[in-house]
């Protein structure tokens, strides 16, 4: 499916700021769809030049990026619209089974959209939606930025005839109408508001409506349940938001800054209610607020459990590292008492292998998880080999090129031992006693699902007459 950016670039003349405004609207319009009980379509005009003229000629000396003037249509005429966004309501049945994004609609098929675009005002009516074959109630909301209308938000619901909505639906639709007017005035979406996160409250989680003084005028059944969870069991109507258990400054901050404010109310370790306060604006004045409540107690409990598990895993890795270092130290002490050179060399080699594995657990204890960035353990391995094997009279420099991928802990442990062996061999056989030292280069290269490790040295090389077969 094409994105808003792709569709806008291909078929419209929206500027970057216009596209950002529409992206913010789409980022928060699941809320609008649930409040309106309607499918929402975002339509942008595909501007065509007048016959016999080029687009530049029709725009005059000061061309506009959108082809529109302050009253809606500019000197160019709108023959069709492209649908750049669609969202279905979670509170009602959808009107559209198939996705509409990327489809074109003629001006004749969308008379209310054209009217809203021209007038800059919200237009309502019943329209025969050709793609559905059904009569729909349509509310066309002009999307304004500054003094320009750049798109139209069309809220479309099946025409249900004489059905009378209940109190909840009437309240929700009333709040949507207020936000729709904010869209038409250019005060929604909020310029500093980001798209809703996954755990943000939804309309179905609980709704509280406030008047301009902060008093409660409506609480949905789910909102009443959420308030009960935080210990408020009285009738909330007419009460201030502070009386419900909220921090005193939350509503004042939302009203003063005119942006949504999110707060989490906690009652002990078992109850967490996430609240999002959205100011409602009319005629550039605060006209109330919409408060969405979501019980996130189970989510926070799971997060604490994950944190506890992560801490436990880190502690296990830390203890394994300590145990391996203890074994390494005991072997090193034992090696000092061994007089036979070959036996001492074997013990020293075992010490280095154990320390290589301990390095992996040290990184896992610090970073957490079951995987480790191999570049994080490559450098300590190099330092260990340098300190244990390199003599001062034949200095050897080590150079690590690349970072390497993230590997499972078991794979990283095995590879750490292998690289320790390779570096040990490079130092002992490439730069024997009497040499002047040199440089060893370790290259880490990721190739698809493979890790390629190359170790180069400028040492003595293979002896004359060397034959791998013998």
Residue 466 belongs to a domain: no
Task: State whether 246 and 306 are in the same domain.
Answer: no
Q: Give the residue numbers spanning the domain of 80.
A: 4-185
Domain stops at, among 295, 316, 339: 295
Q: Indicate if 369 and 441 belong to the same structural domain.
A: yes
261 and 343 in one domain?
no
Note the pLDDT tens digit of each residue in 39-86.
999 999 987 654 544 444 433 333 343 444 444 444 456 778 999 999
* CB of 18 closer than 8 Å to CB of 150: yes
Strand 148-158 with 39-48, pairing:
antiparallel
Q: Is residue 191 part of a domain?
A: no
- Are 317 and 365 contacting, i.e. CB atoms less than 8 angstroms apart? yes
Give pLDDT < 70 ranges for the chain.
1-2, 48-77, 130-134, 160-163, 193-199, 367-369
Q: What is the pLDDT of residue 154?
A: 95
Whether residue 76 lies inside any domain: the answer is yes
- Report yes or no on 217 lying in a domain: yes
Same domain, 64 and 126: yes
Q: Let me know whether 289 and 150 are in one domain.
A: no
pTM over 0.75: no
CATH of the domain at 80: 3.30.450.280
Same-domain pairing of 97 and 120: yes
The total of structural domains in the chain comes to 3
- Domain match, 291 and 308 both: no
Residue 77, SS3 per DSSP = strand
**Which CATH number is 418's domain given?**
3.30.565
Do 280 and 155 share a domain, yes or no? no
Residue 258 lies in a domain: yes
Q: Does residue 114 sit in the same domain as residue 166?
A: yes
Instruction: Among 135, 157, 185, identify where a domain stops.
Output: 185
CA dist list (Å): 466 to 143, 428, 461, 462, 469? 80, 17, 10, 6, 9
Statement to judge: residues 348 and 405 lie in one domain: yes
**Sequence-separated (6 or more) residues with CB below 8 Å from residue 82:** 7, 11, 12, 43, 44, 46, 102, 103, 104, 105
Structural domain contains residue 320 = yes
Instruction: Say whether both 110 and 20 belong to one domain.
Output: yes
CATH of residue 221: 3.30.450.20
Is 197 domain-assigned? no
In Å, how far are 241, 304, 462 from 297, measured between CA atoms? Answer: 21, 11, 67
Same domain, 168 and 215: no
Q: Could you say which of 248, 273, 295 is where a domain stops?
A: 295
Instruction: Judge whether 74 lies within some domain.
Output: yes
Q: How many CA atoms lie less than 13 Å away from 24 in the CB half-sphere? A: 18
Q: pLDDT (tens digit, 9 = 90+) per residue, 125-152?
A: 988 776 556 688 899 999 999 899 999 9
């Amino acid at each position: 499916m094409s994105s808003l950016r792709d569709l806008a670039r291909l078929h419209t003349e929206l500027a970057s700021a216009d596209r950002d405004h529409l992206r913010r609207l789409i980022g928060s319009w699941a809320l609008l769809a649930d409040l309106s009980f309607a499918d929402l379509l975002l339509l942008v005009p595909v501007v065509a030049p007048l016959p016999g003229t080029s687009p530049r000629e029709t725009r005059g000396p000061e061309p506009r990026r959108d082809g529109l003037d302050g009253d809606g249509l500019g000197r160019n005429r709108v023959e069709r619209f492209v649908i750049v966004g669609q969202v279905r309501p979670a509170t009602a049945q959808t009107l559209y089974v198939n996705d509409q994004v990327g489809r074109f609609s003629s001006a004749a098929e969308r008379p209310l959209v054209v009217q809203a675009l021209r007038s800059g005002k919200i237009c309502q009516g019943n329209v025969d939606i050709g793609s559905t074959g059904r009569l729909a109630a349509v509310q066309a909301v002009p999307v304004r930025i500054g003094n320009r209308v750049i798109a139209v938000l069309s809220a479309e619901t099946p025409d249900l005839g004489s059905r009378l909505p209940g109190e909840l639906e009437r309240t929700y639709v009333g709040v949507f109408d207020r936000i729709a007017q904010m869209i038409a005035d250019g005060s929604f979406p909020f310029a500093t508001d980001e798209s809703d996160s996954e755990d943000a409250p939804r309309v179905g989680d609980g709704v509280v409506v406030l008047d301009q003084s902060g008093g409660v005028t409506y609480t949905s059944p789910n909102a009443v349940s959420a308030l009960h969870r935080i210990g408020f069991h009285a009738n909330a109507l007419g009460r201030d938001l502070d009386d419900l258990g909220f921090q005193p400054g939350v509503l004042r901050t939302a009203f003063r800054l005119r942006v949504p404010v999110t707060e989490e109310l906690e009652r002990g370790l078992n109850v967490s209610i996430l609240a999002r306060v959205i100011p409602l604006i009319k005629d550039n004045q605060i006209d109330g607020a919409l408060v969405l409540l979501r019980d996130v107690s189970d989510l926070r409990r799971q997060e604490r459990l994950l944190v506890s598990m992560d801490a436990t895993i880190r502690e296990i890795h830390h203890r394994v590292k300590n145990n391996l270092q203890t074994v390494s130290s005991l072997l090193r002490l034992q090696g000092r008492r061994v007089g036979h050179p070959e036996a001492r060399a074997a013990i020293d080699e075992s010490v280095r292998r154990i320390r290589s594995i301990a390095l992996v657990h040290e990184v896992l204890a610090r970073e957490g998880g079951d995987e480790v960035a191999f570049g994080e353990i490559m450098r300590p391995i190099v330092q260990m080999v340098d300190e244990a094997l390199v003599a001062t009279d034949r200095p050897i420099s080590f150079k690590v090129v690349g970072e390497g991928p993230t590997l499972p802990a078991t794979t990283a442990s095995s590879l750490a031992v292998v690289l320790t062996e390779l570096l040990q061999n490079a130092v002992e056989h490439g730069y024997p006693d009497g040499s002047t030292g040199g440089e060893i280069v370790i290259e880490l290269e990721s190739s698809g699902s493979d890790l390629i490790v190359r170790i180069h040295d400028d040492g003595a090389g293979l002896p004359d007459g060397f034959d791998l077969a013998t």
